[in-house]
Amino acid sequence: MKPLSVYVHIPFCLKKCAYCNFTSMEASNTLIQEYLEALKREIGLYHHFLEEREIQTVYFGGGTPSLLPAEELLSLLYLILPRKREENLEITLEANPGTIDLTGLRILKEGGFNRISIGVQSLKDSELALLGRIHNSFQAEKAFQLARSAGFKNINLDLIFGLPGQSLGDFLFSLNRVVALAPEHLSLYCLSLEKGTPLFKKVKSGALEPPQDDLMASIYYSACRILRANHYEHYEISNFALPGYRSRHNLVYWNYGEYIGFGLKAVSFHDGIRRGNLGKIEEYIAFLQEGRAPIAYRSGKRGIAALREEAILRLRTSDGFLEDELRKKYPRAFNAFQKKLLALKEKGLLEEKEGRWRIRERHFFVSLEIMSRLM
């Protein structure tokens, strides 16, 4: 059976954060119920497809999936995995501090979730307030401990850096405290000011200093050093893991693996086709009420375009890609592409060792600059 990963999108939050432009909303219970109804129908549409595949990972993301009662989450999970499958599935739940309790976590753990990703973002209360998070640093640390107590042995914490006004010291304060908790996995995101968000508007209006690129780079590379010293592997631009704890689900994205996404605006990629779901919740629900697949677009890439996409995605990881592997997969397109690779190697922007190509860690923070030269 061909492997497959599954993503489920829960687009609801108690309160939208000041920097967030993801598909998420503060919604009424009725709307949430209608959405879950629709989501279940959508999963149902792919019942046979799921049966035919060897499901490797399941990921509940959002929004705040941990807002939903544990039973609700499990019922969704069982729709996807109706029968017991192999043991080593990775099943992740995104959770926000302030939305979880020990009982719920225990039920989820019992029910099959074995990885939890907590949106800590910062351990400084002033920064959390600036970000518009609903939790404080105490709740954040407590959330981690709750997850541990509930038996989660694979925990990811998200941190954000590059906040307006944040100094290197401010960030190191959060990072060091997070490292002290010893999570298995850490995601380090650099804040991007997205148009339309309250934070963007504040910076635009001059009320807040925009973060400086040089400072962000210093923070990033300091974090890399600290995490390396604490045995974390920097296995993707924004991701660090203790050995054996890389996020299998996310690796599927970066390694051009196949996945199906359920829910509002979720994206699927399998059998050479990428498709995206509708982004308006009313439409999404209405489509499914009529039993129609809520698809907004489908697109397929072949040849050089697919090769480019795969190579660029893989270059986000520290493993990069194997030349032979891609040459075999794209025999006709590879030669033209190789010229660009060699030119970048010449300039010292790509590393090639024994047929494996990658972007060096010291270039991760300018990786887009390098990738754009592969287009």
- The reply to whether 261 sits near another protein by the rule CB under 8 A is yes
DSSP structure class, residue 77: H
Of the residues 46, 152, 262, 364, which one makes contact with another protein according to CB under 8 A: 364
- CA gap 57, 91 in Å, rounded: 6
- The reply to whether 284 sits near another protein by the rule CB under 8 A is no
* Contacting range for another protein; rule: CB under 8 A; set: 25-33, 184-192, 200-208, 284-292: 184-192
Nearest distance in Å: CB 124, another protein: 19
136-175 residues near another protein, rule: CB under 8 A = none
For residue 36, the SS3 value is helix
Nearest distance in Å: CB 138, another protein: 26
Of the residues 274, 327, 345, 356, which one makes contact with another protein according to CB under 8 A: 274
Residue number with CB closer to another protein (149 or 192)? 192
**Bridge-based pairing state of the strands 53-62 and 90-95:** parallel
- CA gap 15, 36 in Å, rounded: 19
Of the residues 309, 319, 352, 361, which one makes contact with another protein according to CB under 8 A: 309
Nearest distance in Å: CB 250, another protein: 8
Site string for another protein, 205-244 (x = CB under 8 A): --------xx-xx--x----------------xx------
Whether residue 166 contacts residue 211, with contact meaning beta carbons closer than 8 Å, is answered with: yes
Indicate the burial class of 82 (C-beta count within 10 angstroms; 0-12, 13-18, 19 or more). Answer: exposed
Nearest distance in Å: CB 46, another protein: 16
Residue number with CB closer to another protein (28 or 167)? 167
Residue number with CB closer to another protein (146 or 266)? 266
From the centroid of its chain, how far is CA 300?
Answer: 22
**Within the chain, where are the H helices?**
29-45, 47-51, 70-80, 102-111, 125-131, 137-149, 168-181, 198-204, 213-229, 248-254, 281-289, 303-314, 323-329, 334-346, 367-372
- CA gap 374, 293 in Å, rounded: 35
Nearest distance in Å: CB 80, another protein: 16
Of the residues 73, 312, 315, 341, which one makes contact with another protein according to CB under 8 A: 312
Of the residues 316, 333, 357, 358, which one makes contact with another protein according to CB under 8 A: 316
Site string for another protein, 29-68 (x = CB under 8 A): --------------------------------x-------
Nearest distance in Å: CB 188, another protein: 8
Indicate the burial class of 28 (C-beta count within 10 angstroms; 0-12, 13-18, 19 or more). Answer: exposed
Nearest distance in Å: CB 146, another protein: 25
Nearest distance in Å: CB 4, another protein: 12
Residues touching another protein, count (CB under 8 A): 42
Indicate the burial class of 277 (C-beta count within 10 angstroms; 0-12, 13-18, 19 or more). Answer: buried
- CA gap 177, 141 in Å, rounded: 9
- CA gap 156, 43 in Å, rounded: 27
Give the CA-trace dihedral at 124, 186, 255, 79, to 10 degrees: -90
Nearest distance in Å: CB 151, another protein: 27
Of the residues 45, 267, 296, 304, which one makes contact with another protein according to CB under 8 A: 267
Nearest distance in Å: CB 214, another protein: 5
Residues 133-138: contacts with CB under 8 Å, at least 24 apart: 133/17, 133/96, 134/14, 134/15, 134/96, 134/98, 135/96, 135/97, 135/98
Interface contacts to another protein, rule CB under 8 A: 7, 61, 189-192, 213-214, 216-217, 220, 237-238, 252-254, 259, 261, 265-267, 269, 274, 276, 299, 309, 312-313, 316, 347, 349, 363-369, 371-373, 375
